[in-house]
Amino acid sequence: MNATTDTSKLHEELDAPFIVTGQQITFYAENGYIKLKHVLSPALLEHYREAISARVAELSVGAAPIEQRTTYGKAFLQIMNLWTISEEIKEFVFGKRLARIAAELMGATGVRIYHDQALYKEAGGGITPWHADQYYWPVSSDKITTAWVPLQDTPQEMGPIAFCEKSHRFQNGRDLEISGESELTLKEALKTFSMEDSGLELGDVSFHSGWTFHRAGSNTTDRPRAVMTMIYMDENMTLAAPKNKNQIIDSERWCPGVQTGEMVASPLNPVLYSSNPEPFSMPGAIDAVTCNSFET
């Protein structure tokens, strides 16, 4: 089989449906997360890992040594919205398989991309402190989820993502940005919750709701823990008034031109999957459901 045929099959896999059961949808709703087995093939992930890793290396050349960083800075190298600078990575980010899973788990008719981010926990990298992502997001509902895609087998010693089950309904700690303080405060506040911190195999994908508290251990191996994430939101999501400085930054960076109360349908937030025949887009936006090109 030649390289062209291989690539074609990878593209087919990226868009092919994945069966999500009613039991899995219920589990996600009750617990605020789910870890799904064998969602993507190792061949597909190894292919796109090369492109993602190359961009992460290129864009993190100036990163300070680990020992000179904050607790959060020691957690990982973080590179965002790679889809806007790499057509190959865009193929992965815009794949309909993961987008459809996100929509079905949230009970949404479709999803838009909020943004993507590569999270590379370097060899010797520190913990990722307890936090909830939605502290940063100026959105009007909790129909927003992160797909966490490991690009290699990720055993305990590499620092896989860990969730506090049912913590998406917990109100305390929602005003904490990720830091050493959030790790200490939330470790105490969440001690009565059950934690799921098992490792993931290559091909597994986890999804977690915006208010689900989560963390990751340190990477004690001699290899980087490479992870690609996509944040999906309800295709009808509207922009909420920012509640903190981080939400102001996010609204300007990831939702350009969108005003409070308007649908988050900027050129950076195309619909990636929808069961609606004509999903809404702002003028100048792209629709990934029908269009797969974007000039940057």
- CB burial of 212-230 (b: ≥16 within 10 Å; e: otherwise) equals bbbbbbbbebeebbbbbbb
What does the pLDDT profile of the chain (296 residues) look like in tens digits? 344 447 899 999 999 999 999 999 999 999 999 999 999 999 999 999 999 999 999 998 877 677 667 766 666 689 999 999 999 999 999 999 999 999 999 999 999 999 999 999 999 999 999 999 999 999 999 999 999 999 999 999 999 999 999 999 999 999 999 999 999 999 999 999 999 999 999 999 999 999 999 999 999 999 999 999 999 999 999 999 999 999 999 999 999 999 999 999 999 999 999 998 765 555 555 444 433 332 22
Q: Which residue from 94, 101, 132 is spatially nearest to 205, judged by alpha carbons?
A: 101
Burial of 17 (0-12, 13-18, 19+ CB in 10 A): exposed
The residue whose two tokens read 């590379």 is 120
Q: Global pTM?
A: 0.91
48 close to 14: Cβ distance less than 8 angstroms: no
- Contact residues for 149 (Cβ-Cβ < 8 A; gap 6+): 40, 45, 98, 205, 227, 228, 229, 230
Question: What gap in Å lies between CA 148 and CA 230, rounded to an integer?
Answer: 7
Q: Does domain 21-134+141-238 have CATH number 1.10.3720.10?
A: no
pLDDT at 200: 98
